Amino acid sequence: MRTFGILWFLLTILIFPAGQALAHFGMVIPSDSMVMQGESKTVVLKLSFSHPFEAEGMDLIKPTVFSVMANGEKKDLLGDLKKVQVMNHTAWKVNYKVKRPGVYIFYMEPKPYREPAEDCFIVHYTKTVVTAFGDDEGWDEEIGLKTEIVPLSKPFGLYAGNVFQGIVKLDGKPVPYAQVEVEYYNKNGKAKAPTDYMVTQTIKADRNGLFTYAAPRAGWWGFAALNQADFKLKHAGEEKDVELGAVIWVKFHDMK
């Protein structure tokens, strides 16, 4: 019995290596979240799928939807996407030229991702907000996605340590006590988590779907609110659960 226990312990180390985080994040990261006068008017957006703190990528099939909403109007950008590599995996990018003041909400709906480890599919509706030339109206508008995080804090112009608040919605309704995973985009690998528990932080929304988080470090932070879909998808002839993620990426800045 003791021998079996030792073998099982060694097997779990091999299967679940130390430091491995299982949180997935759809990512839409712009080169600039605040376009100012005198700066380049072209914003480069990269779409990917990853474990952002560990900078471990996964292949992202070309999304089903990639669009921008500005001044109440939506524009399809799917045809403008070009295949690139992010974290050594298939990703996508677009060069978007900002032509007028406004708040630009970029969002994607990816194709379902099959996750063998969890025996389910994952669909992360992901968005980010870019403001241009001093305009800051409309940053809290809802796109109307299957699930999304509606910001209550302005999702740009934030200092590290500022609080970010949002409401988790599913089918247009707030989700009481929704679970929200939070992760830092550790692009250069300089951030080190004291323990595996701190790679992905998890908070819960209140009964009105409202959550609050104060980012301790400058950079891009992802917020992913997770809910199980009311439908299933088939794999190998069997119906599997679908995890729906409402994801928003927000940048925090150092005060200099």
pLDDT of residue 8: 39
Q: What are phi and psi of 79, to 5 degrees?
A: -70, -15
Res 188: pLDDT: 87
Per-residue confidence (pLDDT) for residue 2, from 0 to 100:
47
Ranges assigned E (strand) in 116-230: 120-132, 147-151, 158-159, 163-170, 173-174, 179-184, 201-204, 210-214, 219-228
61-84 tens-digit pLDDT: 999 999 999 988 999 999 999 999
Q: What is the pLDDT of residue 72?
A: 84
pLDDT for residue 7: 41
- Say what the pLDDT of residue 42 is: 96
Supply the pLDDT for residue 13: 38
pLDDT < 70: residue spans in the chain: 1-22
